[in-house]
Structure formats: structure tokens, C-alpha cells
Amino acid sequence: MNIRPRRNRKSEAVRRMVEETKVTTDDFIFPLFLLEGANDKIEVDSMPGIYRLGLEKILKEIEVCLKLGINAFDVFPVVPEHYKDKAATKSFDPNFFYQKALKRIKSEFPEAAIMTDVALDPYNSDGHDGLVKNGEILNDETLEVLGKMALAQAEIGIDIIGPSDMMDGRVAYIREVLDDNGFTNVSIMSYTAKYASAFYGPFRDALDSAPKKGDKKTYQMNPANQREALIEADLDIEEGADFLMVKPALAYLDVIKLLKDNYAQPIAAYNVSGEYAMLKAAGMKGWLDYDRTMMETLLSIKRAGADVILTYHAKEFALLTKGK
């Protein structure tokens, strides 16, 4: 035999030499959940090892993560029910605890890349990503609120705006609002192909942001559809998106590859809460080697074409690979 592929697998040194895909902490954005109480810390029951943190605790967490090589963070607010209303007015209030906390984070860690979410569900008493009237999710009326949110976050100094709402035309609307107000350097990471997935359950537990009535199938994508992601991607690029995201990641590796093969923009993938919880549960039961399965999962997302991975595994990965 002239060709023996096993020769390139004969030792750890040779295997590492020819390794096609490498995951590093540079690939990650670490999602964090912010509580109003500055020193509060509450574990998310359905996400073992992940906590909702008050500002002082989040500042310490970011400091630790930066030392581990994690340089980007997506901060989500846990909004108490009494602040929520049908117009999501706290979403753009500069005096709200979330906006004030973001300002402190950027002040203390200017070197960190901070991403924020733009959607109404954390602030909306209906629990939907858009305004609701007579059971209908209003598209065009929602854009104005999304623009106000994005502007409020840009004024704080946020690096990346992440519209996750899936309203039609929102990237163009946000881009115009940002540019008209002088924030041409603020990036937009669009949730391009965000599917109406069953894997979001633990995240909604963390934020208490599930819809009060109905579901999100009229604006999030049908899990059965792949080519539709190309339509969304074409629109996002035309409207000014800097990154294209696929969410969830693990169950949609084909969509990640589809976008990677067709677009020059960086592709992000959100390794979502349900994907994290599955590995945690199986690891805690002893059914899987958690560390190895986590590493393989992140590798598969990167191999499929993701340039950026939003993942709750980020800190564990960093601790596991530190010094290697």
C-alpha cells in the first residue's frame, strides 16, 4: 500500500501537526446574565455551573475570564416582572440598572469586547421579541423601539449590537439609526438564521422571558428550512450586518456550513442553553465524559464554519486548556 492515512495519526505530535481545525478562546463570546442586585448570585437550575450575577459579581467574572484569554462577552439582563410593560420602555431607559451596569463594565474593562442583545422579550410584559397587539406581533412598529434600544446601548460604548428579534428590516433600521447618530463604528451581529427551537428552554428560565401567550413561530425560522437562511443572510448583508449568526448551533451545523460557503462575512454560531444543559446532565449522570464531549462539540461547530462561537462552555474550556 502506497497510501496509509494512519501514518499521519501515529503520534500525538504528528496528529497535532496535521490538525485541520483548532478551537481557542479567541473564538468565544461568553454569555452572562445580569441581576439588579449588585452582589446577588443565583445559579440557573437548568444550567448547572451558570449563574445570574449582580454587577459586582459580573465585574469579577469578567476580570477572571480576561486573564483566561476570553475577551468578548454578551450581557443579558434579568428584568424583574414589575419593570415590564407592553411598550418595553425600560429597554432604552439610560437610568435603568442594565444600561448603568453596561456603562460601568465598559469603564472598568475598555479592552473587552461587549455585545448586547436587541429584542423586546426581556422587557415586554407579553414576553415576545416585538410589540403585541390583539395577539399579533407587530413588525414595523417594533423597529422604532429596537432602534431606541440600539442607540441607548451604543451611547454607553457597546462594541457589538446583536438584534435577535427576527423582525423584517431591523438591521437596516438599526444601522441607519446608529449611523445618523455618529456610531458608524458600532458593529451589528445579526441573528440571521434564528430558528424557532426547543433548545432555548433553559435560557428563558434564566431570564424569565418566555412568551405569556402563543409562541415565536411567526417570526423565528422553521427548523425544517435550510435555504430560507440564504434569504435572511442576503437581506442582512444588504442592510449592513457585520456578522451573520446561526442559532442554535449544534442542531444546525448544516446551516453554519451553508452560510460559510456562501458569504465572506464572519459567521457566528450560538451554542445555546439547551445544548449546554444536555451535556451537563449527561456528564453529571456519568453517561458521557463531559470534558471530552464539550471539546468535541465546540470543535464540530468550528469545523462546520463558525468564526465566532457564543457558548456557556467558554470558561470551562479556558480552564481545561490553560497552559496547553
Helices 170-180 and 140-156, packing angle to 10 deg? 40
Set 84, 247, 260, 280: catalytic member:
247
Q: What are the binding residues for Mg(2+)?
A: 232
CA distance 280 to 288: 9
- Scanning the chain, the segments in alpha helix (DSSP H) are 12-17, 55-67, 97-108, 140-156, 170-180, 201-207, 228-239, 253-262, 273-285, 290-304, 314-321
Set 57, 84, 90, 194: catalytic member:
194
CA distance 219 to 151: 23
Question: What confidence tens digit (pLDDT) does each residue in 40-92 have?
Answer: 999 999 999 999 999 999 999 999 999 999 999 999 999 999 999 999 999 99
Question: What confidence tens digit (pLDDT) does each residue in 5-52 have?
Answer: 999 999 999 999 999 999 999 999 999 999 999 899 999 999 999 999
Reference 113, options 176, 26, 35; nearest CA is 26
Reference 275, options 228, 224, 312; nearest CA is 312
* DSSP output for 55-88: HHHHHHHHHHHHHTT--EEEEEE---GGG-BTT-
- Is 194 among the catalytic positions? yes
Taking CB atoms within 8 Å and a gap of at least 24, the contacts of 223-228 are: 223/195, 223/196, 223/197, 223/251, 226/254, 226/255, 226/258, 228/193
Query: What is residue 323's predicted lDDT score, i.e. its pLDDT?
Result: 60
Question: What confidence tens digit (pLDDT) does each residue in 111-164 have?
Answer: 999 999 999 999 998 889 999 999 899 999 999 999 999 999 999 999 999 999
Query: What is residue 322's predicted lDDT score, i.e. its pLDDT?
Result: 85
pTM: 0.95
Structural domains for the chain: 20-321 (3.20.20.70)
- Is 100 among the catalytic positions? no
Q: What are the binding residues?
A: 232
